[in-house]
Amino acid sequence: MHILLNPTSNKPIYEQIIQQVKERILQGVVVAGDKVPSVRELSAQLTVNPNTVSKAYKELEREGIFVTFRGKGTFINEDVHELVQEKEVEHLKEQAEKLVQSAKQAGVSKEEMKQWIDEIFQKGGGDHD
């Protein structure tokens, strides 16, 4: 599992680790059943404090993305792709809600918003109606 940290980011390192793990799962780089490096291994690889990696691992386990088996190690959960995808969709919905509220305050109509969305999807080359 290849993780790149941005030391100049405002986001804490443990959150960067969590986000990168989720991105690797969505990209298919990391798949269900994969063994995850130990906290010690990843902290050495990233040259960060083991407590930082441990905090990220605990959060990923709490979210159901990681599962740990005593004596065997930590693995990617079997249902991981669906879990991560659901969380990403929830996050997108929250962002959309904030955007719609801001648009309403700025006097943007629902029709204008729909037009913008259609234009953005067309630019992206994907049309998921």
pLDDT at 127: 52
pLDDT score, position 128: 57
User: pLDDT digit of tens for each residue in the chain (129 aa)?
Assistant: 789 999 899 999 999 999 999 889 888 888 889 999 999 999 999 999 999 999 999 999 999 899 999 999 999 998 877 777 787 888 889 999 999 999 999 999 999 999 998 988 888 765 555
Residue 126 token pair:
């994907």
66 plus 20 within the same structural domain: yes
78-94 burial by CB neighbour count: b if 16+ within 10 A, else e?
eebbebbeeeeeeeeee
Q: Is residue 70 one of the residues assigned to a domain? A: yes
Question: What pLDDT shows up at residue 7?
Answer: 87
Residue (of 12, 10, 6, 30) closest to 81 by Cα position: 30
| Domain count across the chain | 2
The β-bridge partners of 76 are 66
CA distance 99 to 69: 42
pLDDT at 129: 55
CA 15 distance to own-chain centroid:
9
Range of the domain at 49: 13-78
Report the C-alpha gap between 103 and 8 in whole angstroms: 31
Is 1 among the domain residues? Answer: no
**What does the alpha-carbon distance between residue 33 and residue 129 come to, in Å, rounded to a whole number?**
33
CATH, residue 46 = 1.10.10.10
pLDDT confidence of residue 79? 80
Contact of 66 with 57, CB cutoff 8 Å: yes
pTM, rounded to two decimals: 0.67
